[in-house]
Every structure is written in C-alpha cells, then in structure tokens.
Amino acid sequence: MDEIRDLFGREIRVINVGLESFALVLESLGVPVIHVQWVPPAGGDPARARLLALLDDEDGA
C-alpha cells in the first residue's frame, strides 16, 4: 500500500469532524488540526442527504 506507507513520515494534518474534544487534544499537542462545526446535512433530512450524496462527485484535488 504505497499511499499508506507514504503517509508514514509525513506530517499528519487533521480535519476533525464531530467531537470537538479530539481537536482540542491535538491542538494542545501542537498537531495541525482544524475542527469542523458539523451538523447533520440538510438539517438531518435523510432523503435530502441522499440527494446530496448523489450530487457529490468530488475526486481528490
């Protein structure tokens, strides 16, 4: 798994989505981290969340 091995040895830079305490710990350790103020997409509406997933075609860049 080349990409996984690539990660070993790189600086880990974290996007934290969910419990803020994880981001606070990483911050206190000096790890680059940004906390996302996550709320359920589409206000929690499952049908709309499915539409959003259908329309999400990001690929990497």
Partner 1 sequence: MIARTLIKPSFYQDSVALMGVARELRGGAGIQEAAALMGTPANRELMEQAGLLTAEAAAAGPNDLVIVVRADSEAAAAAALARAESLLTERRRRVEAAGRRLPRTLDSARRQLDGANLALISVPGPFAAAEARKALARGLHVMLFSDNVALEDEVALKRLAVERGLLLMGPDCGTAYLNGVPLGFANAVPRGRVGIVAASGTGLQQVVSLLAAGGEGVSQAIGVGGRDMSESVGAAMTLAALDALGGDPDTALVVVVGKPPAPAVRGRVEARLRALGKPAVVAMLGRAVSPGRDGLLHTVTSLEDAAAAALAVLAGREYRARAFADPDDAGRRIGERQRALAAGQTSVRGLFAGGTLAYEALLILEPLLGAVGGNLSRSAASPHRIVDLGEDEFTRGRAHPMLDATLRAEEIARAGKETAVAVLLVDVVLGHGAASDPAGDIAPALEAARAHARANGRGLAVVASVVGTAGDPQGLGRQVARLESAGAWVLPSNAQAARAAAAIAGGAGVTQKLLGGESR
Partner 2 sequence: MSIREANERALVRLTSAQPVLVDCRPAREALGLDERTVLHSGPPLLWGQACPTVQAAILCAIRYEGWAADDDAARRLVERGRVTLGPCHHAGAVGPMTGIITASMPVFVVENRPGGNRAHATVNEGLGKVLRFGANDASVIARLDWLAREAGPLLGAALRSSGGLDLRALMAQALRMGDEMHQRNIAASALLARALMPHLARVAADTGAVARVADFMAGNDQFFLNLAMAAAKAAADPCLEIAGSTMVATMARNGTDFGIRVAGLGERWFTAPVNTPEGLYFPGFTAADANPDMGDSAIVETVGLGAFAMAASPAVVRFVGAGGLRDAVRVTEEMAEITLGEHPHFRIPTLDERGTPVGIDIRKVVETGITPLINTGIAGRAPGTGQIGAGVVRAPLACFEQALAAAAAGRVAT
* Contact residues for partner 1, defined by CB under 8 A: 1-5, 7-22, 25-26, 29, 31-41, 43-44, 46, 49, 52-53, 56-61
Task: Give the x-and-dash track for 23-52 against partner 2 (CB under 8 A).
Answer: ----------------x-xxx----x--xx
Q: How far is the CB of 23 from partner 1 (least distance, A)?
A: 8
CA 28, CA 20: separation in Å to the nearest integer? 13
